[in-house]
Amino acid sequence: MLMASRHDQLVRLLRRRSDWAVAELAREVGVSRRTVLRDIGALREAGFDLHTFSGPGGGVRLNPTSVMITSQLGATEVVALIVSVEIARAAKTVPFAAGARRALAKIEQALPASRVAELRALRERILIGRPSSETSVADIDPDLLEAFETAFTATRLLTFTYRDQRGRRTRRLVEPHGLLVRQPQWYVIAWDTGRNAARLFRADRVSAPRVSDRSFVARPSQFIAEVCPDARPARPRDTAPEPSG
């Protein structure tokens, strides 16, 4: 059985009955007791509220109020939520924008500490700036969205052809460190390895993007702030998380 399927079966069993002995779970799933213990640890790290208790062979209990959906969010899904919420909030006239922001705060509170740190680090790298003076956007290369998502969340180098304001085209190899939204435009905040300098790349001027096999070390969030000093991070560093009430 694949690990993901095994984890799903374990969660179903734990939701069906309040208390389980580890040995019972192992028999139900068809794996060793050691494997079940590893799976329980992985589920706990993913955000499920699991408690162990003493007894013959040990036991485990799942808090029935444990949030399930938030534990399964991947990095790209977290970024999608952040961007959607912040764009709605920046527009100010979009219905339910305030509720979306509160929902994001509740998701943050439901995640384990390791995921909260990941979420906050991502929010530091997504900037919202003043709306662009241009009201229309040229067609964006359909491959850019997936390529940027992969390179940004996996810290992989990104290569593409870039067309500047004069129409000149150059091939670039960059470290994608952040995302800047200036409605209706968006930009890649990057370190250009060929020019050895920070650069902003407008999405509708990028073509033929490709994710490299090479990874890079993310620069401090201060780097992002210095590239776009007039924009604000999706979660300002000097404010506390919103209350969940």
pLDDT digit string, tens, across residues 140-182: 999 998 999 899 988 999 999 999 989 999 999 999 999 998 8
* 239 CB-near residues (< 8 Å, 6+ apart): none
Q: Last residue of a domain, which of 37, 62, 87?
A: 62
Domain holding 46, by residue range, is: 3-62
pTM of the full structure: 0.63
How, if at all, do strands 126-128 and 169-182 pair? Answer: parallel
Considering the domain architecture, whether residues 185 and 119 belong to the same structural domain is answered as no
Q: Do 71 and 54 sit in the same domain of this protein?
A: no
Among candidate residues 35, 62, 89, the one where a domain is terminated: 62
Whether 80 and 162 map to the same domain: the answer is no
Among 25, 47, 62, the domain boundary falls at: 62
Res 190: pLDDT? 97
The domain that holds 44 is classified in CATH as 1.10.10.10
pLDDT in tens, 80-134: 777 777 777 666 666 777 777 777 777 777 666 666 777 777 778 888 888 888 7
pLDDT score recorded for residue 101: 74
Q: Quick check: helix, strand or coil at residue 160?
A: strand
- The total of structural domains in the chain comes to 3
pLDDT tens profile 35-48: 998 898 888 776 67
Indicate if 58 and 10 belong to the same structural domain: yes
Q: Report the C-alpha gap between 114 and 118 in whole angstroms.
A: 6
pLDDT reading at 68 higher than 50: no
Residue with token string 């940004």: 152
Backbone angles phi, psi at 166, to 5 degrees: -90, 0
Together in a domain, 193 and 143: yes
Q: What is the pLDDT of residue 184?
A: 82
Report the chain's mean pLDDT, rounded to a whole number.
Answer: 81
Q: Is the same domain home to 9 and 97?
A: no
